[in-house]
Amino acid sequence: MAKGTGLLEVKGLRVAVAGNEILKGVDLAIREGEVHAIMGPNGSGKSTLAQVLAGHPAYTVLAGTARYDGKDLLDLKPEERARAGVFLAFQYPVEIRGITNSYFLRSALNALRRERGEAELDPIDFLQFLEQKLEAIGWDDSMMNRPVNEGFSGGEKKRNEILQLAVLEPRLAILDETDSGLDIDALKTVAETVNKLRGPNRSFLIVTHYQRLLNHITPDVVHVLADGRIVKSGGPELALELEAKGYDWLRDAAMVS
Amino acid sequence: MAHVDQLVGSYRAWAANGASGAPDWLRDLREGGIARFHELGFPNMKQEAWRFTSVAPIAEGSFELAKAPQKVPTLEEIQPFLLFETGHRLVFVDGFFQRSLSMPLFDDVQSLARVATEHPDLVRQHLGKYAASENRPFSALNTAFVNDGALVHVPAKAAVEFPIQLLFLATGGKPVVSHPRNLIVVDREARASIVETYAALDDGAYWTNAVTEIVLGDGARVDYHRVQQESSRAYHVATTQSHQGRDSTLNLHFVAFGGRLARHDIGAVMAGPGGTLILNGLYLLGGQQHADHHTTIDHAADHCESHEYFNGVLDEKSRGVFTGRIIVRPGAQKTDSKQTNNNLLLSADAHADSQPQLEIYADDVKCTHGSTVGPLDPRALFYLRSRGMGEDEARRLLTYGFAAEILGRMGVVSLRAELDRIVRVRLAA
C-alpha cells in the first residue's frame, strides 16, 4: 500500500474556530502517490482539516504539527503552501466578479511558475497550455471566458475546481466534499478526471461524507473522522462498511476512547 | 444666494453681448432656463435627491463664464485623449468648439452652435425637450447658457461605421464654468456609437456643467460611452437624458475617475414598447473625491427591458453615492428590469451610499434590485491565496475585477483598452 516517501505528516493536530475546538488531536500520514479518503459524519471536523491544511485564516491551531515535504506546513501562508504544491478544491468555490476563468488560472499558474523560477506564460502561451490540459482531461473550454464561478451551477463550480487542479498540478490535492451537490453523471466526470490526474508524484486527500465517490476513485487508505479524531483507518473496504452500517457505531467508539 | 445672483448677472451680460445674435426661439429657450434657475437656486441637502451631496463648494464659489481659449492646444497636446485614428471627432476646449482639432466628416456631426444658427429646425425640434429643467437647477442653468456643444444626427437607416468621439478639454487655469450642451439624434433604424470624454489639460479648480440629450427613433441602436476624467480639483455636474422609441436598443456606459465633486443625473425614458436599455457604470475614486450618480429609468411603455449595473471602487477618504430609481408606469406591462450596485470599500475612511428606489404602477412586471457595500470578501481573498497569489496580488485582482466587470460590457475595443489601462494605473498607485 505504501508507495513513495512521506509527503504529509500530521501529528496531534488540535484546531479551534471561533473558540470551539473542532479537531482534537488528528494524526495522519500520506505518502507520495497515495490517495487517502477522510469520511465522517457532519460536524466531525472533516472540512476543518481540509481548510486548516490549506491555511484558512479563520482557524486557530492549538497544538500539534503538520510537516509537508520537510517543511512546517502550519508556518506557511496560504499562498506559500499553494506554491509548495498544496491545493484545496473548495467545498464552496467562491465567485470572483469581473475576472474570467482564463485570466484567473493564468494568474495562479504564473504565481506558481515564478516560485519555481520559470518564465511566466503570456495569454497566448497560456491558451496553448490550457488546450493541452483540457484535451488531456477531455473537457471543452466553455467555462474559460466566464467570470470565475459566477452564475455557475453547483456542478460547474465543482468541475471548475478540478480543472484548476489539472492546470496547477499540485503534489497534494485536498478535495473538500467535491462530490456534494453533484448528480451522478457529474460525479462520474469528476471522478474520471481525478483518476487521470493520479500519479506517483501526486497525493490526494479526499474528504467526503458519502461513499459513492469512492465507487469511482479507489483510495489507498480510508480514515474515519468522528468528533475531531481519526477513530478508524483501513483499506477501501472500510468505506463500504461505513456505507452499510452508518457512522453511529464509530461515533460511540470515539466517545468511549 | 450671492452666487445665484452672480450667475444671473453673468447671463444678462452674456445675453446682451456675446449671445445677442440668437434667433428668437433660442433666446426664449435661454430666458426660460435662467428664469428657472433663478427660481430654483442651488439644491440643498434637505432635498431628497441631494441628501448625500453638498454643492456648497460650487454654490459658494466664484466662477466666471469660460471664454474662448486664447491659446488653442496643439493636436500633439491632445493626442493622449484621442481614441480613434479614423471617424468623426469633435474637440471642445473650455466649452468652445475647435475646428482645427476636429474631424467632422459630414455635416451631421457638428458644433451645435453652428447648426442652431444655420439649420435650426432639427435643433429646435429636440433641444431641451428631454432634459427636464423643472426641478433641475443645473440643467436649467445649462439651458440658459446653451451655446456650443456637439450635434450628432444620424438619419433614418444610416449607420455610422466608426465610433464618434466628442472630447471636452478644460485648460484649467482659472476658476471658470463651461456649459457644454450635446444633442444626439439617431433616427429610426439608424446606428451609432459615441464616446464622450471630459478631461483636463491642467489640474485646475474649474466647473463643468454639461447636458447631453440622446434621442433614439424606432428600431435605432446607440452605444453611448461617457468618460469623466476631470482634474482632481474640478467640479463636474452633468445631466444625461435619453429618450427611446419603439424596439430601440440603447447601451449607456459611464465611467467616472475624476473631479473633486461630481454629480451626474442620468435619466432614461423608454417611451416605446419593446425597447432594450443597458445602463452600465463605474466610479473609481480616491483621495477626497465625491461622486454621486443619480439614475432614473422610466419604463413608460410595455415590453421593455432594462439592465442597470453600477460598481463603485472607493479608496482613501472618497465617497460614492448611487441612487437607482426605476419607475414602471401604469400600462408598462411585461417590464423586465434588473438593477445592481456593488461598492467596494478599500479603506476604512471610504464611504458609499446606495439607494434603490422602485416605483411600480403596473402588475405584470419583473423588477429585481440588489446592492452591496463592503470591503473585499475575505473568502475570495483566501480563495486566490490558496491558488498561489500573494495577498497584494489577490487584493489587486479582486479590485480590478470590480472595474473589469463594468468595462467588459463595452464593445468599443480601443476605449475599453484605454480605460483598462487607466484602472490598472490607478490600482497600482
User: A14-27: per-residue pLDDT in tens?
Assistant: 999 999 999 999 99
Contact B386 A98 (CB under 8 A): no
CB pairs under 8 A between A and B: 82
The grid coordinates of residue A29 equal: 500520514
Does residue A201 have a pLDDT over 80? Answer: yes
Mean pLDDT of B253-275: 98
pLDDT of residue B333: 97
Mean pLDDT, to the nearest integer, of B239-257? 98
Whether complex ipTM tops 0.85 = yes
pLDDT in tens, A129-176: 999 989 888 888 888 889 999 999 888 899 999 999 999 999 999 999
Phi, psi of A127 (to 5 degrees): -60, -40
Q: Given an 8 Å threshold on Cβ–Cβ distance, is A98 in contact with B388?
A: no
Confidence band for B109, pLDDT divided at 50, 70 and 90: low
* Cross-chain Cβ contact B387/A108 below 8 Å: yes
3 state SS of A242: helix
The percent of residues in chain B predicted with pLDDT above 70, rounded, is 98
Question: In the predicted model, is pLDDT for residue B285 greater than 70?
Answer: yes
In B72-132, which residue ranges form alpha helices assigned H by DSSP? 75-78, 112-118, 120-126
DSSP helix/strand/coil, A72: strand
- Give the position of cell 452652435: B113
- What grid cell was written down for B20? 445677442
Confidence class for position B108, pLDDT limits 50, 70, 90 = low
The pLDDT, as a whole number, for residue B107 is 60
**B368: phi then psi, degrees, rounded to nearest 5:** -130, 150
Chain A: which residues have CB within 8 Å of chain B?
54-57, 77-79, 81-83, 87-88, 90, 93-99, 104, 107-108, 111-112, 115, 147, 164, 168
| Sequence ranges of the domains in chain B | 2-272, 377-429
Would you say residue B339 has pLDDT above 60? yes
- Report pLDDT for B157: 97
Give contacts of B388 with chain A, Cβ < 8 Å: 79, 82-83, 108, 111-112, 115, 168
Quote the pLDDT of residue A257.
43
User: Is the CA virtual torsion A133, A138, A143, A149 positive or negative?
Assistant: negative
Instruction: Read off the pLDDT of each residue in B228-242 and give the average, rounded to a whole number.
Output: 97
* pLDDT (mean) for A103-118: 96
pLDDT at position B309: 98
Q: Of the ranges A133-137, B96-100, B366-370, which one carries the lowest mean pLDDT score?
A: A133-137
The listed CATH number (3.40.50.300, 3.40.50.12780, 3.90.420.10, 3.20.20.70) that belongs to domain A6-93+152-256: 3.40.50.300
Q: Cβ contacts (< 8 Å) between B398 and chain A: which residues? A: 96, 99
Q: Do A108 and B404 touch (CB under 8 A)?
A: no
**DSSP string of B119-172?**
SHHHHHHHTTSSS--TT-HHHHHHHHT----EEEEE-TT-B-SS-EEEEEEE--
Lowest mean pLDDT among B47-56, B127-136, B194-203: B127-136
- Overall average pLDDT of the B318-340 stretch: 97
CA B422 to chain centre: 18
- Please judge whether B382 and A78 are an interchain contact, meaning their C-beta atoms are less than 8 angstroms apart: yes
How does residue A254 score in pLDDT terms, banded at 50, 70 and 90? Answer: low
Q: What is the CA radius of gyration of chain B?
A: 21
Among A17, A91, A96, pick the best mutation site for testing chain B contact (most B Cβ within 10 A). A96
pLDDT digit string, tens, across residues B302-312: 999 999 999 99
CB–CB of A98 and B401 under 8 A? Answer: yes
The pLDDT score that the predictor gives to residue A181 is: 84
